[in-house]
Structure 1
Amino acid sequence: MGSICGIDCMNCELSSGCKGCDATGGRPFGAECMVALCCKKGEDELCRFKKKLLAAFNALDIPDMEEVTELNALKGSFANIEYSLPNGEVIKFWDDNKIYFGNQLQKKGSDRCYGIMADEKYLMVSEYSGYGEDAEIVVFKQWN
């Protein structure tokens, strides 16, 4: 298997369910990979995009959220938790097979966490406890 971004696919825990970026045109699980999209645009695009996204998350100025300094490539299924809407409907926002940028940050002075996730169009900050329990949407917006 070959990658577009330079990751060693053979050392990835997901390699058994993935054909690699080279064989799939940057869609390793059948959906887009944000890292591959950036890398296809040029050598510096990944760094530029991540800096722009970090700035967008930090500009939200959420008082008890620590500064966002790192973003990781995350398969949607790892972070795609369910949210209850006011009408009682339970939904998920992300594609389980797409690769996004995200991270988990500890909420200051709390045992709860913030989960951050984004793609080329939308960013989300959610707050939750444990393994995505009692999830609440803090921000979901178009950003780019």
Structure 2
Amino acid sequence: MTNLMVDARPAVHVSAALRARLSARIQSERPEIGAELADRIVSGTAVFLAVSAANPVQRMTPSALIDVGWHAWVLHTRDYAEFCATLGRFVHHVPTDEARPATEGRAEVTRTADLIKSAGYPVDAELWAVAGADCSQCHAGCSDSP
């Protein structure tokens, strides 16, 4: 499988031990996700969180696969808090309670991927695909907390 990325600054660092814990959590909760994809999800989620932290007034919405990674991460509360501390801001996970049209969610995901690209980070096209980009676990979608 091709990992499509833009030429950009390096991805955000995640320690090997944390990467292994998060990848294992993702694979245990989503058996259809293999080890290679789980690892890419961890990387993509780290970048999403870094850009979210750097843009505190900008609402950012993860793709369905990035949301899988974010959910895995917030279950490891100490690791998540420590990682957010390295980013300079705690990135709150805020589920959207009201129903929204799928097109609105897809537009928000596309806008978020564009923000990540404009920040100079790599964007894995498969992780940010928006064809069926409804949130995987929060029903109507999730965002950070601007």
TM-score normalised per structure 1: 0.28
Larger gyration radius, structure 1 or structure 2? 1
| Structure with greater helix percent | 2
TM-score normalised per structure 2: 0.27
| Structure with greater strand percent | 1
